[in-house]
Structure 1
Amino acid sequence: MHVTDLPDVVLVKVLSYLEWEDKLTVTNAIPSFENHLRTSASWPFFKFSPSAVTKSDYITAAENCVKEYGIFFRTFRSVTSMETDSVTNEHANMFKLVSENCRHLRGFHMEQGSDGFCHGQHSTSNRDMEEALTILTTCKDLKNVSLFLPCETEIQPKPFLLLQLINLGVTSFVTALDLSSISWTMSERQMSCLLNFPNLRELSLQKCNVDATLVLGLAKQSLVQLNIFQEKEIFDLDICQPNDNDWERILKLKPDMKVNITFDGIILVKTMFPSRIPLKQLSLNDISNSLTKGMMDHFTNNYWNTLEVFKYTNLLHEKTQTSDTRLPFALVSFAKKCLKLQSIHFDVPLSSTTVLLLAHARKFKELRVIKDDVSYEFDWKSAEGTMTPDFVQWLKESGQNEAQLEKAVSSLLGFKWKLWNLPLTFADKSF
């Protein structure tokens, strides 16, 4: 059977899974498919993601596609790249076209690319935001809107963009807000305007803005996911952050509440992690002190029934004398006891024995270990007495070289597993 002989409903379904560039490529190769693009079923999403290396051909093709097929789009996603210090007018121009051609949008999402932090740069221009707000007022079918609000200037006070959304009467569309830029440090009074977003389900904030009253108020409305970021030490803040009693009250309102935490380059202490916080994902990147057994035990004891993803890199301190030699034991215990744990990313020195014990502890969906970090040795001699002789022999044989290690871990996890060649980054903010 030729592909053109497939039922229309099947062809439309296939087209719906393709990126917009691939849709156009297919229809150029098979012109009869063009009619199948003139239906909303073929356009569940459109992703616009220009970058510093994007050729002008990409932008021109995307704009032409919006003009031709935008009436059928159901969701539009715009991803801002952080590869340059500022963004040109390509997003503003695209947003203008969307407001003119995509009147039946149900979803509009502005997302921050790269590592998700603004680093003080104006990653989204004023014109970008003006045109984005036009979409919210012209597309009357909108029900699901995610916005990344950029760094603001002294000319525009902190709540300026939030107040614009409130004054335009479009806050009921907004289901996700990203205020994770380091410039977003607001007073309790300024943050209270977030309570004007009744359908806000996901909120991303710098840790200094996570106010107990605010989170409780949003939980009473629609909030079910809180993403907390911190990439520098901030002191002398008056914000009253949620404690264990606050989290108990929040969880009574929203038992399915999830919290994701990303800390970058800060001093790590246990008081940052209340025992009742429903922690789903924890990412620790180049923190200013070494991760210890005591900290890992704290995570294990408090988040064993919620934590799904754990990421840790510490290139700054990986070879210092302050590193806790008990950390591998704590990490394996963590893997065994955290019942929902699905993914570990670890970028510090580990022995092949530790990697094998991690894979033996749990069938991870994802286990990332840097190839250059692995030493091929049996360094668990102090625990050898708790293992059977056959198991010790298996650990020694399976951990003697890269090929044996990858083969053994693949067998344990049930898929082809390889050591990771690239440095680990926390570029993905889609929790």
Structure 2
Amino acid sequence: MAEANHPPMTEKDIKCGGECQIYQLPFIAVTKILSFLPWEDKLSVVRALPVWNDNLHTVEAWHMVQYDRELDENIYFIKDKRWRFVLCIKKYGKWFRWVKLVFGCKIGHIGLKILHAISEFCPKILTFYVAQEMRDQTDMGYFWKKNVILEVSRIITSLADLRHCYIVQPSVDWEDNVDNNIIKCFIKNELTTKVTHLELTSLSLFNHEGLLHVLTNFTKLRCLVVNREKVNNSILLSLVDAGLQELTLVQEEEVSLEQQQDLRDDFWTKVMDTCPLFHLDLVFRCVMVLKDLFTPKMPLRVLVLDDLVNIVTKGVLDHIITCYKNSLIRFHYSNFLLENLEEGDRRLPRALVNMAETCTRLKFLQYGFPLSSTTVLLIAQSRKLQKFVVPSVEITYEFDWPEEVFTQDEITRLKQQGRSQRSLENAVSTLLGYSWTLYDAEESTVEEHLSQRILL
């Protein structure tokens, strides 16, 4: 076959090199590249390559705009970061469709500027998400006051095409008047029907007493995250009748004997009759967990057991596996507060392997107690998990299972693959089909550490 004839490269072509190739990329390809970048990186790229600026004047380039990670920032740099985001909104906001705001500091003056800019320059948003994180959970200065609530309300009322509205961990002062309480203010101004996702956990309930009967006013809720002690059968059934589809219950304190009679099988039967695809996520933190908490009819999808005051036994875990083998997707059990001090039930590793084998929908597994490399390998070969988190400090590199359970070839393979961290990580990566490593808390950021604690 004759070789294709190419014109000889000129000196200009040689000097141009890759730069010319960048300038010659198709418009659609450039837009796609920009769409994957965080908003700050988008701005940095077009400063370096002004020819790409027109690509930012498209909806496709702003698939999802996230302003977050303030907890990872030096507090002295956050002011400048917020101002840059205000300028970004003013210049490109008309193309935003999905906006996520997570404030890690007090919203303050510039935070208000961000909210105001969104209401003024982002008329076509379809999904709006606003959340509050706190460095100091006891600082009442984080409370969302009237000016913050007015700006959030203005955004919600100004968006004619809004489909999804997330209000996540707003800092609420329940002892103040209506104007300084976003929940009461939404009820007063008839904005509750705009909210589709609501999260009210400890950060939002700092000085709240009793049940959250006000929740029944949110008749368009599709997803609710709330502390267990703040709801009962009546409140939840009202929300399910109105269309609630997903519920996350967070329990961080022991509930009363009266409330323990709620959420039993008769309740879940009514829920499933109303919404057959209903999903429940449970988070237990710093409480005692017993088998009686897990009734068979619960549509349990996610179970998080974090820093419990008691040890979960193999009997409890076997009960959970039996009840939720067709619904459980995520299981998380760890104890970071007492790391390396509590070993847990020594029979749990076998129960974990049983979980991986039996729970047909299981995709995410995190375990924060001692495990042998053999158990890790058996879990990985039992199911291709999308997320499998095991702290490196909890691993022992040994074969500790009864030899009669395996053939001699299997024993040899398990010993070989589990002899070191590198061999274990390589073997598990092959079994799961992606690069897998043990979790190292010392090398993680604040945000990554928190995300490992709760895989929600």
Work out which of the residue numbers 64, 76, 86 in structure 2 matches 1:45: 64
Aligned counterparts of 1:258 and 1:164: Cα–Cα separation in 2: 29
Q: Percent identity?
A: 30
Note if contact 1:353-1:396 (Cα within 8 Å) is conserved in structure 2.
yes
Equivalences for residues 344-355 of structure 1 within 5 A: 344-355=365-376
1:78 aligns with 2:97: no
Aligned counterparts of 2:108 and 2:449: Cα–Cα separation in 1: 26
What is the identity, as a one-letter code, of the residue corresponding to 1:132?
A: V
Aligned counterparts of 1:259 and 1:227: Cα–Cα separation in 2: 6
1:12 aligns with 2:31: yes
Distance 1:89 1:290, change over 3 A: farther
Note if contact 2:417-2:427 (Cα within 8 Å) is conserved in structure 1.
yes
Partner secondary structure for residue 427 of structure 1 = helix
1:64 aligns with 2:87: yes
Note if contact 2:171-2:203 (Cα within 8 Å) is conserved in structure 1.
no
Note if contact 1:150-1:181 (Cα within 8 Å) is conserved in structure 2.
no
Partner secondary structure for residue 15 of structure 1 = helix
Quote how far apart the aligned CAs of 1:366 are: 1.7
Consecutive unaligned residues in structure 1, runs of 5 or more: none
Aligned counterparts of 1:284 and 1:41: Cα–Cα separation in 2: 40
Aligned counterparts of 1:416 and 1:269: Cα–Cα separation in 2: 36
- Residues 355-394 of structure 1 deviation map (CA, whole Å, 9 limit, x = unaligned): 121112211122111111111222223xx22322221222
Work out which of the residue numbers 188, 195, 216 in structure 2 matches 1:167: 188
Distance 1:94 1:236, change over 3 A: farther
Aligned counterparts of 1:120 and 1:294: Cα–Cα separation in 2: 42
What is the identity, as a one-letter code, of the residue corresponding to 1:66?
A: I
Distance 1:425 1:33, change over 3 A: closer
1:33 aligns with 2:56: no
Distance 1:111 1:386, change over 3 A: same
Distance 1:234 1:426, change over 3 A: farther
Aligned counterparts of 1:122 and 1:338: Cα–Cα separation in 2: 45
Partner of 2:420: 401
Partner of 2:161: 141
Partner of 2:273: 252
Partner secondary structure for residue 420 of structure 1 = coil
Quote how far apart the aligned CAs of 1:426 are: 4.4
Partner of 1:261: 282
Work out which of the residue numbers 311, 318, 321 in structure 2 matches 1:290: 311
Aligned counterparts of 1:239 and 1:174: Cα–Cα separation in 2: 29
Distance 1:186 1:213, change over 3 A: farther
- Which range moves more in the overlay, 215-224 or 334-343? 215-224
Note if contact 1:368-1:420 (Cα within 8 Å) is conserved in structure 2.
yes
Work out which of the residue numbers 217, 224, 228 in structure 2 matches 1:207: 228
Aligned counterparts of 2:449 and 2:198: Cα–Cα separation in 1: 23
Aligned counterparts of 1:321 and 1:110: Cα–Cα separation in 2: 38
Partner secondary structure for residue 202 of structure 2 = coil
Distance 1:182 1:2, change over 3 A: closer
- Which range moves more in the overlay, 416-425 or 220-229? 416-425
Aligned counterparts of 1:410 and 1:106: Cα–Cα separation in 2: 38
Work out which of the residue numbers 84, 87, 102 in structure 1 matches 2:122: 102
Count of residues in Structure 1 that have an aligned counterpart in Structure 2: 423
Quote how far apart the aligned CAs of 1:186 are: 5.5
What is the identity, as a one-letter code, of the residue corresponding to 1:380?
A: W
Q: CA-atom RMSD, angstroms?
A: 2.9
Quote how far apart the aligned CAs of 1:37 are: 2.0
Aligned counterparts of 2:110 and 2:294: Cα–Cα separation in 1: 41
What is the identity, as a one-letter code, of the residue corresponding to 1:331?
A: L
Quote how far apart the aligned CAs of 1:313 are: 0.9
Aligned counterparts of 1:275 and 1:157: Cα–Cα separation in 2: 41
Partner of 1:427: 451
- Which range moves more in the overlay, 416-425 or 146-155? 416-425
- Residues 114-147 of structure 1 deviation map (CA, whole Å, 9 limit, x = unaligned): 89x9567564531333321221123333221100
Aligned counterparts of 2:397 and 2:85: Cα–Cα separation in 1: 50
Partner of 1:337: 358
Quote how far apart the aligned CAs of 1:239 are: 8.2
Work out which of the residue numbers 333, 338, 344 in structure 2 matches 1:323: 344
Note if contact 1:209-1:239 (Cα within 8 Å) is conserved in structure 2.
no
Note if contact 2:27-2:55 (Cα within 8 Å) is conserved in structure 1.
yes
- Which range moves more in the overlay, 328-337 or 215-224? 215-224
Quote how far apart the aligned CAs of 1:161 are: 2.6
- Which range moves more in the overlay, 150-159 or 229-238? 150-159
Partner secondary structure for residue 137 of structure 1 = helix
Consecutive unaligned residues in structure 2, runs of 5 or more: 1-19, 443-447
Rg: which structure is higher?
Answer: 2
Structure number with the bigger relative contact order (C-alpha 8 A, sep ≥ 6) is 1
